[in-house]
Homo-oligomer: A and B are copies of this chain.
Amino acid sequence: MRISTSSNCRCCPMRTMTVTYTARVATARFGGFSQLLLLWRGSIYKLLYREVLLFLGAYLGLSMAYRFLLSEPQRRLFEKLVLYCDRSAELIPVAFVLGFYVAVVLERWWGQFRSVPAPDGLMLAVGCGVHGADARGRILRRTLMRYGSLAALLVLRAVSTAVYKRFPTTDHLVEAGFLTREERRRLDALRSPYNKFWVPCVWFGALAGQARREGRVRDDCTLKLLMEVRPPHTHPTPQRTPPSPPPQTFRSVSPFQELNRFRANCSLLFHYDWISVPLVYTQVVTIAVYAFFATCLIGRQFLDPAQGYAGHELDLGLPVFTLLQFFFYVGWLKVAEQLINPFGEDDDDFETNTLIDRNFQVSMLAVDELYGDVPTLERDRYWD
C-alpha cells in the first residue's frame, strides 16, 4: 500500500510504545515474574529513580544533621520527634486508599481503551456495500472511510497530547491526507465552539445517501443490515411503465448503524476525557502518600543505639525498608498517574498515533485494494 502518514508505521508496528510483556510470561515458569523486574522501558525504575534519589537525599541530609550538626539536647529532642513520627506514620492508611483509588483508575483506563473507535466494522460494511471498481466507486468508498477516520482523529486530537502534537492544526490534517482543503474550509466555517467530530459523521450520512441515489449502493442488503437501513425496493422493471421518479425509488442508504456505533465511541471517548476522576479524590490520595513519606523522612531515621530506644538497636545507615515502601507505594501511585490519562506520552500509554496509521491504512486496503477480491474456491482437505 502506498500510505505512510508517518515514518515509523512500517518498521515495528503496533508494539513501539505500549509496553507489551505478556508473551514473556506466557508460562508460569520457575522464577515467574522475576524476569520482568529487569525491564527498563515502561518500568518502575525509569518512572521512579528521580523521586527515589530526591527522597534518599533528603533522608541522608537529615541523618547527617542528626549525627553531626545537632547538639546533645537537640539530638534528644530530635529523637523524640522521630519516635513520634514513626508512631504517627501508621495512622495514614496509604495501602487502603491507594488500593481503592487505583482500582477506579484502572477500570476507567480499560473503558477508555475500549472506546477508541475502530474502523473494522465500518470498512467491512463499506467494502461489501458500496459497489463499482471504477474511479467513482473507489473515490466514494475511500472518502467514506476517510470521514470515519477524520471523526476519530478530531476526537483523539482533543483527548491525546501525542496526537495533538502530531496534528497541532487542521493544516496538518490536510497535509496528512485526512482532510481536503475544501473540507477544512467548511469545517472552519461552522460557527460552533464545541468539538466538531460529529460533522464528518453528518457528511458520511449525506454521502452514503448520495451513493444510494447513484445506484452505487445497489444491493442494500449487506449495507443496510449493517446500518439496519431498509432496502430500496428497486423492483427490477416491474412493469412496462418506466420507473419515473427515481429519487423516490432509489432511496438513500447509509451505513448508518455501523456509523452510529463508531460515533458513539467517539463521543464516549470525549466524555471520558471531559469527566475525569474527581480532583478531590486524586488530591486525597496524593496527600496521603506524600504526607506518609514526609513523615517517614523523620520517623524512619536510625537513632543512636546507645540511647536504648526500643526498635533502634541497629543503625544500618540506609533505610532499606523505607525505600522499599517508597518503591511500591509511590510506584502504585505512579500506576494511577500513568493510567489516569492513557493518551499521554508515557512509555505505557496507548500508541494512539500508530493506531491512527493502522486504522487508516487497513481501511483503505479493505475498501479499495481488496475490493471484490475472492480467492477461487477449492475443496478443503477434509472434503470427504
Contact = CB atoms under 8 A, between A and B. Distances in A.
Contacts of A19: 276, 278-279
A335 interface: yes
Nearest to A18: B275
A57 B227 CA distance: 65
24 contacts: A2-B384, A3-B382, A9-B193, A20-B273, A21-B276, A44-B287, A88-B320, A92-B325, A92-B328, A97-B332, A121-B264, A142-B380, A177-B380, A190-B369, A203-B373, A207-B377, A218-B247, A220-B230, A222-B227, A224-B225, A225-B227, A280-B335, A281-B332, A291-B327
A167 to B, nearest CB: 14
Contacts of A120: 198, 201, 263-264, 267
A246 to B, nearest CB: 8
A47 B287 CA distance: 15
Given A26-B344, A235-B233, A335 B284 contact: yes
A180 interface: yes
Given A280-B47, A337-B25, A128 B313 contact: no
Contacts of A253: 219, 221-222
A202 B260 contact: no
A266 B254 CA distance: 25
A254 B316 CA distance: 73
A338 B280 contact: yes
Q: Interface range on chain A: under 10, 10 to 19, 20 to 34, or 35 or more?
A: 35 or more
A83 B315 CA distance: 12
A80 interface: yes
A199 interface: yes
Q: Shortest 5 CB-CB distances between A and B: which pairs?
A: A219-B251, A26-B344, A177-B381, A230-B231, A225-B229
A209 B96 CA distance: 57
Interface string A177-193: 10010110010001111
Given A128-B256, A212-B219, A220-B251, 16 more contacts: A2-B384, A23-B341, A42-B280, A84-B314, A92-B324, A121-B260, A180-B375, A202-B370, A209-B221, A218-B247, A219-B248, A225-B229, A225-B257, A226-B228, A236-B244, A240-B241
A120 to B, nearest CB: 6
A237 B233 contact: no
Nearest to A113: B275
A10 interface: yes
Interface in A1-48: 1-3, 9-11, 13-15, 18-23, 25-28, 30-34, 36-37, 39, 42-44, 47
A68 interface: no
A188 to B, nearest CB: 12
A311 interface: yes
A132 interface: no
A6 B72 CA distance: 69
Contacts of A320: 88
A128 B338 CA distance: 41
A262 B273 CA distance: 22
A376 interface: yes
A366 interface: yes
Nearest to A125: B256
